């Protein structure tokens, strides 16, 4: 049964929503951390091996941007679901 904005949430439901919000933020920070590690790896390759590591370095930078973008999209989608108190079923 979906919750409507007018229906009051019990204490356990409010705490569960807060835990889920915090988990969503931790997941976003994990994406950011992974992206920063890839940026560092890519820049190190470009700095120390410009000839041989150039293509791999630029690829790592591109993947870092992609990882960050995916993390932001997932964070915003889950935040929107939490604000609406509606969860979409997980696709298998």
Asked if residue 24 has pLDDT above 90, the reply is yes
Residues 79, 67, 29, 19: is their CA dihedral positive or negative? positive
8 A C-beta contact, residue 82 and residue 9: no
Conformational region of residue 86, where left means phi above 0, alpha means psi within -120 to 50, and beta covers everything else:
beta
Could you report the per-residue pLDDT of 40-79, keeping only the tens digit for each?
999 999 999 888 878 899 999 999 999 999 999 999 999 9
Between 18 and 37, residue with greater pLDDT = 37
């Amino acid at each position: 049964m979906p919750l409507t904005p007018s229906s009051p949430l019990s204490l356990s439901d409010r705490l569960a929503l807060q835990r889920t919000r915090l988990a969503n933020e931790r997941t976003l920070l994990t994406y950011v951390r992974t992206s920063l590690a890839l940026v560092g790896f890519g820049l190190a390759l470009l700095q120390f091996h410009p000839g041989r590591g150039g293509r791999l370095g630029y690829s790592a930078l591109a993947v870092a941007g992609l990882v960050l973008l995916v993390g932001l999209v997932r964070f915003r989608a889950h935040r929107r679901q939490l604000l609406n108190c509606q969860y979409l079923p997980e696709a298998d």
